[in-house]
């Protein structure tokens, strides 16, 4: 069973009611998210993922004939920067979800710790008969 957890994606290890599976409500105009997805949230550079930059936005704008407001363009770039930063942080198995508060994150860590302690206690109990 432990080997199964290691092979599964982190998102597959939790049921649908787990806080890590409940995404927050997005408080941004949906069309800006669509623009960001159209442009791309990242590009691949020599050092891995990098955020999109102004020339990328300009190329997208000229090819699609969509001319976002400068503030919308800044938001698209910020979404890209945040995506790239968190994609790097998320490689750490102990990384919390970016949309959880510190209190929720601490509660999740405590629940994991309690679960491990309970499993170890059960293991010792089973081993000692």
* Segment 72-89 mean pLDDT: 91
pLDDT of residue 74: 94
C-alpha distances in Å from residue 68, one per residue of 34, 54, 78, 81: 12, 12, 14, 18
Closest listed residue to residue 29, CA positions, set 63, 76, 64: 76
Predicted TM-score (pTM) of the model is: 0.61
Per residue in 94-113, pLDDT (tens digit) is 777 777 777 777 777 788 78
Per residue in 28-77, pLDDT (tens digit) is 788 999 999 999 999 998 889 999 999 999 999 999 999 999 999 999 99
């Amino acid at each position: 069973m432990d080997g199964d957890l290691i092979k599964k994606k982190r998102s597959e290890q939790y049921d649908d009611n787990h806080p890590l599976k409940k995404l927050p409500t997005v408080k941004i105009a949906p069309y800006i998210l669509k623009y960001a997805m159209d442009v791309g949230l990242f590009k691949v550079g020599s050092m891995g993922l990098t955020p999109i930059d102004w020339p990328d936005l300009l190329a997208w704008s000229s090819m699609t004939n969509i001319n976002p407001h400068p503030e919308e363009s800044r938001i698209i770039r910020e979404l890209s920067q945040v995506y790239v930063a968190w994609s790097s942080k998320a490689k750490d198995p102990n990384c919390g979800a970016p949309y959880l508060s510190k209190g929720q994150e601490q509660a999740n860590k405590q629940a994991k710790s309690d679960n491990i302690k309970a499993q170890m206690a059960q293991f010792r109990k089973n081993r000692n008969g």
